[in-house]
Amino acid sequence: MSNRIVGLILLLTILTQVNNNAFSQVNDDDLYIFGFSQIIFNHRQLDSNIYPNTLFPAGYSISSKTSTFALHQVNLFFQKSINNKTTFFLNFEASGSYSSRLPSGEFEIPEGWISFKLNENLLLKTGLLLPKFNNLTEIKNRLPLFPYIIRPIVYETLFSNIFKPEDYKPQNAYVQLSGSNNVFKNYIFDYAFYIGNAENSFLSSIRSNELGAEEENTTLYRGENLNTALLFGGRIGIENFISTKKMGVSFTFDEDNKTKTENSVFRLPQLTTPVLGEVARYRLGVDLSFTIKNFSFESEYMGAFHDHSKIRKKEAFRTAKLNKYFFYGNLTYDFSEKLYAFGYYSTNKDYTYEFVAPNSPSRAGINIISLGGGWRINEVTAFKLQLLRSSLNKNEYLEYNFNMLTVGISTIF
């Protein structure tokens, strides 16, 4: 027997025998520290063909293949129960093989809040927090909770450089009041209302030299919200905790930052939007999830609707429309306690570039189909495999196919 085989057997044995420390005894008064990491390897192939047209007279093709390892994400959580009614929670997150030396990846503190239990049914959270919007926003960075590795596009941090998640959903809030009431047998009505800053692109970034003279004079510190418009949002939902059915409606109101020219998601250099200012925006979300025997289904819809009345007063922007839509549905089947398979589909459409380039790629829509499975090696470690195919609907500018195979190991500690 070769050394490689012995090594493989040893690795499997160790992984399946490792103690489950994630669920070990915890006293209420202790500072509780826990976290998770996910390591991935992916191989991806991109084939893109830009057709000759008025914006790109020559047209061109791009084809690339890459293989890479990455420390997809590491999160470290600190939780401290101050008393029966008060809890402190802190989350450190590093993604994309974070290194300040290289530099690569990103590091952030996405959450740091304190919660007060006002009564049995009402909870007040203050601090930097992930608000309740649909089912996934609150847990978007908790990778071990997901059957897949690569999350739906608006949730995946690896794509955040080319795709702005805040175009579809709120990123954070600072005060949230949430509660739940038993309305009738086994059914809980839950609700949350929150307030926070407008989208992150309004935050000042003194070192980036992106500030105008007026902004530079008024900015006190890096990361300050330079907009008086705040985010208001909430979610109301109903859940049957016996049969694990859940649905809800979410909403937000804030302003979309269109104060700078913007490139399209496909980085087509000639395809940009002009400065439109700050545009009032309403986001709507609907989520539905349920479990029937070994099947678990979850789905989400998001729509970002803009008040175009102000920008359409200018003749050049008369047909401007900035709305965006996203849908996602995932079905997981558990073969056993340890083995599962999943498949998800997502699609999103963005009308932002339609008035500067009719039948734009983002208006046509991006479709993603993903299939995969996982093996829960023990209570804290899971091996995951995922195939993902992304393509564009037919449009005048671009044909685009993206295929990715990803394997990963997720560990809770």
Partner 1 sequence: MKTFSLFCFVFILTSVTEPSLLEAQYSEESISIVVHESIETDAINIAQLKAFYTLNTLNWKDGNRIRLADYKGDNYLRIRFYSKLDLTPSKIKKIWLRAQFTGKSIPPNVVNSVAEMIEAVTDLPGTIGYVPTSRVSPDMRILFEISNDL
Chain contacts with partner 1 (rule: CB under 8 A)? 2, 4-5, 8-9, 12-13, 15-16, 20, 22-26, 28, 32, 34, 77, 79, 81, 84, 87, 89, 113, 115, 120, 138-139, 142, 144-145, 180, 185-186, 188, 241-244, 291, 334, 336-339, 375-377, 379, 412
Give the residue with the Cβ less far from partner 1, 22 or 203.
22
CB 304 within 8 A of CB 168: yes
Give the residue with the Cβ less far from partner 1, 156 or 307.
156
Give the residue with the Cβ less far from partner 1, 16 or 99.
16
Q: What is the C-alpha separation between 72 and 37, in angstroms, rounded?
A: 8
Min dist CB 241 to partner 1, Å, is: 5
Min dist CB 16 to partner 1, Å, is: 4
Q: Which one-letter amino acid corresponds to residue 302?
A: M
Give the residue with the Cβ less far from partner 1, 79 or 323.
79
Q: What is the C-alpha separation between 243 and 143, in angstroms, rounded?
A: 24
Give the residue with the Cβ less far from partner 1, 62 or 339.
339
Q: Among residues 144, 130, 242, which one has the least CA distance to residue 185?
A: 242
Distance spanning both ends of the chain, measured CA to CA: 33
Going by the DSSP 8-state scheme, the letter that residue 155 receives in this structure is T
Q: What is the C-alpha separation between 153 and 26, in angstroms, rounded?
A: 36
Give the residue with the Cβ less far from partner 1, 184 or 221.
184
Torsion sign (Cα): 223, 226, 228, 234: negative
Min dist CB 183 to partner 1, Å, is: 13
Q: What is the C-alpha separation between 286 and 301, in angstroms, rounded?
A: 5
Going by the DSSP 8-state scheme, the letter that residue 151 receives in this structure is P
Give the residue with the Cβ less far from partner 1, 196 or 374.
374
Min dist CB 307 to partner 1, Å, is: 33
Min dist CB 272 to partner 1, Å, is: 39
Min dist CB 89 to partner 1, Å, is: 4
Min dist CB 8 to partner 1, Å, is: 7
CB 196 within 8 A of CB 174: yes
Q: What is the C-alpha separation between 288 and 55, in angstroms, rounded?
A: 41
Give the residue with the Cβ less far from partner 1, 54 or 84.
84
Q: Among residues 339, 350, 214, 341, which one has the least CA distance to residue 273?
A: 350
Distances in whole angstroms, Cα of residue 222 to Cα of each of 128, 169, 203, 209, 295 = 16, 23, 8, 11, 47
Min dist CB 152 to partner 1, Å, is: 17
Q: What is the C-alpha separation between 89 and 112, in angstroms, rounded?
A: 6
- Give the ranges where 119-255 is alpha helix by DSSP (H): 213-218
